[in-house]
A and B are shown apart, each in its own frame.
Chain A
Amino acid sequence: MSVLTPGRKVEKLDRLAELAAAPAHERGASLWREAWRRLRHNPSAIVGAAILGLFVLVAAFGPFFVPYGPTDTIGVASGEVRPAAGVIPGPSAEHWLGYDHLGRDEFSRMVVGARQTLLVGVVATLIGMTAGCILGGIAGAAQGLGGRWGRRVDTVLMRAVDMMLALPSLLLAISIAALLGPSLTTVMIAVGAIAVPIFARLLRGSMIAQATSEYVLAATALGVRKHRIALSHIVPNSLAPVLVQMTLTLATAIIEAAALSFLGLGNPDPSTPEWGKMLADAQRYIEISPGLAIYPATAIIVTAFGFTLLGEAMREALDPKLRT
């Protein structure tokens, strides 16, 4: 017989009390709420969420509290930074992460860069998700409910999507970015575009699976119209994987956006801090001040890791096979 330590016991009692206290109609509630409950009890979800929470906080409010202007070349003005002579001071009490090669405060730039990174990641993901879901939704509904013509529509759309999927994603992004000229919008569109086929395939597949389910047959047997079946029955049941993919796409979007900036296809204004660009700039001084490369690289990796942790945890929480 296992012994319950006081701590475990209290935990169990608390859970019981929670269950008993909740009004009956909320006790099991919807599947989304059930997924949320499981998410809260998953350690990797908590770690992921904590990382992301910190990241979002920094991105949103950090720029108001940075000690120095991110574009002020204070180090050069004061003579402390002389890159030509190979002098770039590292971390100190006043400058927590030291100076960059133009004598700007690296910490301030990191904080301000977080906002840029988050903005690009979120907007790119939203672009990709919206376009992908429209494409996939049309294809899925057409294939699932549209009869012979629907299947043709689906075939045409999906072959187009397959073509996009066939190209290596970064190559595609680079081509798009090169075509549109370097700018922040370009990066967002390019990174968003490579997520389109993924979302389209995902939603379509999930919708087709739902279209053959019993409840769709039952709704059809009650005379419910097709567009209503698609919108109010099939789509809501197909969104769980899209939500998971969104979180995972945010991770790749941040990495890809950084890659594009690194390659010089991002914001043409060199003074705007952006992690990928900072990483690119740091290359030339990696022997003098390796920290300049390590900080943005770590930030990119940790942020992407946070999104991935949360995404994987969400996948688990929403997995119908694990549902009790």
Chain B
Amino acid sequence: MARQSGSIAASVSERGAHRAERRGSALLDVADLSVTFAHRGAPTVHAVDGVSFTVDEGEVVGLVGESGCGKSVTSLAIMGLLPRRGVQVSGRAVFDGRDLLTLSDDEMRDIRGRDIAMIFQDPLSSLNPIVPIGVQVAEVLIRHRKLDRAEARRESAELLDRVGIPDPQRRLREYPHQLSGGMRQRALIAMAVACRPRLLIADEPTTALDVTIQAQILELLKSLVRESGTALIMITHDLGVVAGMCDTINVLYAGRVVETASRRPLFAEPRHPYTVGLLGSIPRLDGAREDKLRPIPGSVRDVLPWPDGCAFAPRCDRRVDACVGEPPAMTAAPGGRAYRCVNPVLAVTTPPAALAKEQP
């Protein structure tokens, strides 16, 4: 779980500055979501600090950022899966007209798996090692769709078939350790889509898999989403994953959204220096040999607490005096995009030919 260190005092919320032009009825509307971890004897940690974004029906939204930027915590908070003790969640997460953060445990349990499902990072540890795959898939069907065992079994086989697991009848009887990594993730995806949820949250679904399998799993997710009209929140640190499938991308840094844009504008003209840095640190096969990777200097630990200025400032090469002192506000820009930067990378400074190899 991503936890950001730092000691932000009172978080300055900028409710809705950039959300003015949002459409009226989103499937999921996360507004000013904050999560703080307070353990006795340890400094309070603001893992998520006023995150806002929306997901429309059938839309694929990316949450992108380095580890520790709060992406996973955001998703767990939406699902109500964070531990109660020492964790404080505030803000709103309105799904289909209901604020998920205020629902009772029972109501939330009914929504989980049926309306919103989640796919986790490590498929091996997300499956119960001593229960056959079939039983685990059937469990969801019995729970939410009230099928009896025989029906659930039949349906499970169909589901495995749908997610591209060959010989599903046999696989249903097998245990997680008998399946390959890709198969396991497919099985988990089958469990997640078993009840045709309206929203799917995939938390780094391909990180634990090898590269060839990653592509297959992404392809599978893409086709499932397309066929069923399920909305998808794609949580990843890999902009390559995002490029292939997301409609809208939210870049997170130190618990806040620093840039929101549709896929094309984001990749073509990134505004926030952090986004630029992320794009610059993707290895390119077609780059010239002498092209070095340009990692972002420093690490997520080198943050400035948001109230004192831009958290990215210590690592930023476009830093100006205005970066420090007060947190930069979300600036709305044409095309529904917004960024949180006082000295953004502007399109005019970016010759189109050098898009991928961003300056400065």
- Cβ of B131 under 8 Å from chain A: yes
Partner of A223, one of B113, B129, B174, B178: B113
B126 touches A236 (CB 8 A): no
B130 with A32: CB separation less than 8 A: yes
In the complex, which of the residues B114, B129, B143, B175 contacts A225, with contact meaning CB atoms closer than 8 Å? B143
Given A31-B177, A220-B112, are A214 and B130 also a contact pair (CB < 8 Å)? Answer: no
* B313: Cβ under 8 A from any A Cβ: no
Cα A219 to Cα B81 with chains together (Å): 11
Q: Which of B111, B129, B130, B178 contacts A28 (CB 8 A)?
A: B178
Q: Are A221 and B117 in contact (CB under 8 A)?
A: yes
A213 x B130 contact (CB < 8 A): no
**With A30-B175, A147-B84, A221-B113 in contact, do A215 and B128 touch (Cβ < 8 Å)?**
yes
How many Å lie between the Cα of A233 and that of B129 in the bound state? 9
- Check A219–B128 contact: CB distance below 8 A: yes
A148 at interface, CB cutoff 8 A = yes
For residue A218, which residue of chain B has the nearest CB?
Answer: B126
> Is residue B144 within 8 Å, beta carbon to beta carbon, of the partner chain?
yes
The reply on A224 being an interface residue by CB < 8 A is yes
User: Contact: A223 with B128, CB < 8 Å?
Assistant: no
**In this assembly, does B109 line the interface, its C-beta being within 8 Å of a C-beta of chain A?**
yes
A237 touches B129 (CB 8 A): yes
Within 8 A of A (CB), among B85-134: 85, 109-114, 117-118, 120, 122, 125-131
In the assembled complex, how far is the CB of residue A106 from the closest CB belonging to chain B, in whole angstroms? 48
The smallest beta-carbon distance between B122 and chain A, in angstroms, is: 6
How many angstroms from the CA of A15 to the CA of B188 in the assembled complex? 34
Distance between Cα atoms of A237 and B130 in the complex (Å) = 7
What's the minimum C-beta distance from B112 to chain A, rounded to whole angstroms? Answer: 4
Smallest CB separation, B5 vs chain A (Å): 22
* Contact present for A25 and B174 (CB under 8 Å): yes
Given contacts A28-B178, A237-B128, contact A148 B140 (CB under 8 A): no
The reply to whether A148 and B84 contact each other, CB–CB distance below 8 Å, is yes
A222 touching B143, Cβ below 8 Å: yes
User: Which single residue of chain A is at the shortest CB-CB distance from B201?
Assistant: A221
**For A30, what are the chain B residues with a Cβ–Cβ distance below 8 Å?**
130, 175
When distances are taken between beta carbons in the complex, the residues of chain A under 8 Å from B122 are 214
CB distance from A11 to the nearest CB of B (A): 26
Chain A residues near B125: list those with CB within 8 A. 213-215
- Which one of B85, B129, B188, B192 has the greatest number of beta carbons of chain A within 10 Å? B129
Q: Check A221 against B128 for contact (C-beta < 8 Å).
A: no
**What is the CB-to-nearest-CB distance from B332 to chain A, in angstroms, rounded to a whole number?**
34
Chain A residue with the shortest CB-CB distance to B121: A214
Which of A32, A218, A219, A225 is packed against the most chain B CB atoms within 10 Å? A218
B136 nearest CB neighbor, chain A only: A219
Contact across chains for B81 and A223 when beta carbons are under 8 A apart: no
Encode B174-204 as 1/0 by CB contact (under 8 A) with A: 1101100000000010011000000000000
Which chain B residue lies CB-closest to A212? B83
Interface string of A295-317 (1 = CB under 8 A from B): 00000000000000000000000
Complex Cα distance, B245 from A222, in Å, reads 24
Evaluate whether A218 and B143 lie within 8 angstroms (CB atoms) in the complex, with A28-B177, A223-B114, A224-B113 already known.
Answer: no
Q: Which positions 58-93 of chain A face chain B at CB distance < 8 Å?
A: none
Kindly state whether residue B226 has any CB partner on chain A within 8 Å: no
A31 touching B112 by the CB < 8 A rule? no
Known contacts A31-B129, A237-B130: does B177 contact A223 (CB below 8 Å)? no
Q: Is B113 a contact of A222 with CB atoms below 8 Å? A: yes
| CB within 8 Å of B: which A198-217 residues | 213-215, 217
Chain A residues with CB under 8 A of B178: 28-29
**Does B294 touch A at the CB level, under 8 Å?**
no
Contact of B112 (CB < 8 Å), options: A24, A29, A223: A223
Shortest Cβ distance from residue A33 to the other chain B in the assembled complex, whole angstroms = 10
The answer to whether A223 touches B130 (Cβ under 8 A) is no
Whether the pair A222, B173 counts as a contact (CB closer than 8 A) is: no
Judge whether B235 is part of the interface by a CB distance below 8 angstroms: no
* A126 to B71 CA separation, bound complex (whole angstroms): 49
Q: B177–A222 contact, CB under 8 A?
A: no
CB-contact partner of B175 in A29, A223, A224, A237, under 8 A: A29
- Residue ID in chain B nearest A232 by CB atoms: B131
Provided the pairs A28-B178, A30-B175, A213-B125 are in contact, do residues A221 and B131 lie with their beta carbons within 8 angstroms?
no
Chain A residues with CB under 8 Å of B129's CB are: 31, 215, 237
A218 touches B175 (CB 8 A): no
Contact yes or no, A215 B126, CB < 8 A: yes
- The listed residue (A29, A31, A148, A223) touching B111 by CB distance below 8 A is A223
**B238 is an interface residue with CB less than 8 A from chain A:** no
Contact between A222 and B192, CB atoms less than 8 A apart: yes
The answer to whether B139 has its CB under 8 Å from any CB of chain A is yes
B118 to chain A, nearest CB (A): 4
Q: Which residues of B contact A (CB under 8 A)?
A: 79, 81, 84-85, 109-114, 117-118, 120, 122, 125-131, 139-140, 143-144, 170, 173-175, 177-178, 188, 191-192
- What are 15 inter-chain pairs, A to B, with CB distance below 8 A? A31-B129, A213-B125, A215-B125, A215-B126, A218-B120, A221-B120, A222-B139, A222-B192, A223-B109, A223-B111, A223-B112, A223-B113, A224-B139, A225-B109, A236-B130
11 more contacts with CB within 8 A, not counting A218-B126, A220-B112, are A28-B177, A31-B175, A147-B84, A215-B126, A217-B81, A217-B120, A218-B127, A222-B112, A223-B109, A225-B143, A237-B128
Q: What is the interface of chain A, defined by CB distance below 8 A to chain B?
A: 24-25, 28-32, 147-148, 213-215, 217-225, 228, 232-233, 236-237
What are the 7 A-B residue pairs with the smallest beta carbon separation, nearest first? A223-B113, A222-B113, A214-B125, A223-B112, A218-B126, A221-B118, A215-B128
